[in-house]
Amino acid sequence: MTPFSLNRPWQRLLLVAVFITATMNIHFFTSSMALYPPSEYPVFYGSLMLFSFAVQLFTVALLALLLPLSAALILALLVGATSSYFSDTYGTVIDTEMLRNVLESNTAESLDLLSPALLLRLALLSALPILLLLSYPAKNSSTWTSRRDALFCGIGALLLLLGIILSQSDQYASFLREHKQVRYYLNPGYPVYSALRFGGSLISSSEPHIFNQLNAGAALPEGDDDRELVIMVVGETARADHFALNGYSRDTTPLLSQQRRLISYRNIESCGTSTAISVPCMFSYLTHDDMNVEEARASENILDVLSQAGVTVLWRDNNSDSKGVAARLPFEDFRKPDNNPACDTECRDIGLLGGLQDYIDSHDGDLLIVLHQMGSHGPAYAKRYPSAFEHFTPACQSPELSTCSQQAVINAYDNSIRYTDYFLNAVISLLQKNTPRFETAMFYVSDHGESLGENHLYLHGMPYALAPEAQTHVPVLVWAGESSDIDLRQSQALSAATNSHDVVFDTLLKLFEVESQLKPKADAPILILQDNH
């Protein structure tokens, strides 16, 4: 037997579980300590250590039942080291929606998250233990022996969990029910559970789905010769309380604040906390409460309905993609210099307007142009704007936010909002030039918000039920041209009402005055049209 007790499968399972518990669950233990100070709850806090160990032992045992022993242990160490970095650094919960968001992120977004600190953690907490495991081959580690030991360890872990919970059932009843966010940081137990759930959803979604047609019976109003030109901007990672338009103390919207015909809706909740959920949801006929991404993608959305009614629809994207929303419509990728004329260190949102006037001039009838921003996507906020927009200083220049003060992170984020202000003002300027020929309007909706260090949370993607308001409270703006039939006074009166992303579907129908057989998706509108139209 080696001095490291690595000879037998059950020894390796136990040792890896102990190592993971001790080194990769810092956020779980510190969060638990804040709720149950060891000085006041010494017995319960001690039991939480055993609780965490039992969860991790069950996780590695489960992996060892599904995979060869060495592969299972290597996977557990890699997942644990990676997940613990994002939990400790950003307060990130690795759930199914976070995994979906990661899978659908583009390469540039993923590279923003790659940092020396992450590589160091991977080296120390996964590479070195893996080398150690490979250096001491296990004896008697046939498939049968490994699976038998994994089964016994898994059963033992479940019995240990049961004993721990029963021994302090009153405390655990509160802990497990009232503090879900804390137990979501059990690592790699919860990430592995989420991955299995996500994998199951991918398998089910790969099966043929019957495409759902809404049968909206949508049609443009007869006898209305006025052409509509609407530019909808899908914002990225903008939070409502960092818009000066909504009362933020900093001047983050200096240009938009000067627009007279602009309405800011101050109490709108997002459908999700990630682009992968919110973007399909806002365009889908499914509501926030019954949202299912696979179902939404296998169904017509509001853009399909408008297109069928006779509206010409174009999607231009400077983000990851349309998340399936524009799958049946013209789509232009502006993440590349081939299309985007404003690229330096990265392609800028302002480039989305390149050649747009020519496009407008070359098409007849009503037009809807959707512009999907890169916006304020983190953690590399300073990359989201040109250096000329560095108004608030010092601004964090690193995607590794732990190297910056919270104020420097906020400064960089607020600079990115000022760049969005510049971009949206340019959209309005383009619409103003076309107002004599069209009934013009801009409709801006951010997909979700962002945590900027409040309660030690950063970025977004928290489970919706646990997400802070910073991640779900989003800015929504409507600008109406002089020729528009939007009743600004009555619509302005709705600006403080509580509403959600569900209003997007109905608002787009209303902007084009489309008549349909569909019932309103939202409980209440945000726009009122003038009676004389």
Per-residue model confidence (pLDDT) at position 403: 85
Check pLDDT > 90 for residue 221: no
* 4 confidence band (pLDDT: 50, 70, 90): very low
Q: How far apart are CA 412 and CA 381, in angstroms?
A: 6
In a domain? residue 518: no
What the block records as the tokens of 447 is 């997909």
pLDDT digits (tens, 9 = 90+) for 289-316: 999 888 999 999 999 999 999 999 999 9
pLDDT digits (tens, 9 = 90+) for 331-350: 999 999 999 999 998 999 99
Which DSSP letter does residue 460 get? S
Tell me: cis bond preceding 37? Omega within 30 of 0 counts: no
In a domain? residue 524: no
Instruction: Name the more confident of 506 and 198.
Output: 506
pLDDT digits (tens, 9 = 90+) for 143-153: 888 899 999 99
Q: Helix, strand, coil: what percent of the chain each, to 5?
A: 50, 10, 40
Whether residue 60 is found in the same domain as residue 122: yes
In a domain? residue 200: yes
In a domain? residue 222: no
Whether residue 267 is found in the same domain as residue 402: yes
Check pLDDT > 50 for residue 463: yes
| Ranges 46-55, 257-266, 292-301, most confident | 257-266
Per-residue model confidence (pLDDT) at position 207: 61
Per-residue model confidence (pLDDT) at position 2: 45
Q: Report angle CA 62, 66, 70 to the nearest 5 degrees.
A: 90
Asked if 16 and 77 touch (Cβ cutoff 8 Å), the reply is yes
Per-residue model confidence (pLDDT) at position 91: 85
Whether residue 333 is found in the same domain as residue 370: yes
Residue-number span of the structural domain to which 327 is assigned: 228-300+310-505
Question: In terms of DSSP H, where are the helices of 310-398?
Answer: 356-361
In a domain? residue 473: yes
pLDDT digits (tens, 9 = 90+) for 168-217: 887 887 787 778 788 889 999 889 988 888 887 777 655 666 789 999 99
Percent of the chain's residues with pLDDT above 90: 70
In a domain? residue 78: yes
Amino acid at 470: A
Beta-carbon contacts of residue 247 (< 8 Å; ≥ 6 apart): 241, 266
Per-residue model confidence (pLDDT) at position 443: 98
pLDDT digits (tens, 9 = 90+) for 362-416: 999 999 999 999 999 999 999 999 999 999 999 999 888 878 999 999 999 999 9
Final residue of a structural domain among 157, 174, 206: 206
Q: How far apart are CA 322 and CA 282, in angstroms?
A: 12
Per-residue model confidence (pLDDT) at position 140: 61
Whether residue 197 is found in the same domain as residue 84: yes
Whether residue 235 is found in the same domain as residue 349: yes
Whether residue 235 is found in the same domain as residue 165: no
b/e sequence 468-477, b meaning 16+ C-beta within 10 Å = bebbbbbbbb
What the block records as the tokens of 208 is 């043929």
Check pLDDT > 50 for residue 1: no
Asked if 437 and 227 touch (Cβ cutoff 8 Å), the reply is yes
Q: How far is CA 36 from CA 20, 169, 196, 298, 457, in A?
A: 22, 15, 31, 46, 20
Beta-carbon contacts of residue 269 (< 8 Å; ≥ 6 apart): 288, 472, 473, 474, 498, 499, 500, 501
* 3 confidence band (pLDDT: 50, 70, 90): very low
Q: Is the dihedral of CA 91, 97, 103, 108 positive or negative?
A: negative
Considering the entire predicted model, what is its pTM? Answer: 0.84
Q: How far apart are CA 533 and CA 528, in angstroms?
A: 11
Q: How far apart are CA 25 and CA 44, in angstroms?
A: 17
In a domain? residue 513: no
Q: What is the mean pLDDT of residues 444-456?
A: 94
* 491 confidence band (pLDDT: 50, 70, 90): very high
Q: 403: domain CATH number?
A: 3.40.720.10
Domains: count for the chain = 2
What the block records as the tokens of 139 is 């004896």
The phi, psi pair for 247, rounded to 5°, reads 100, 5
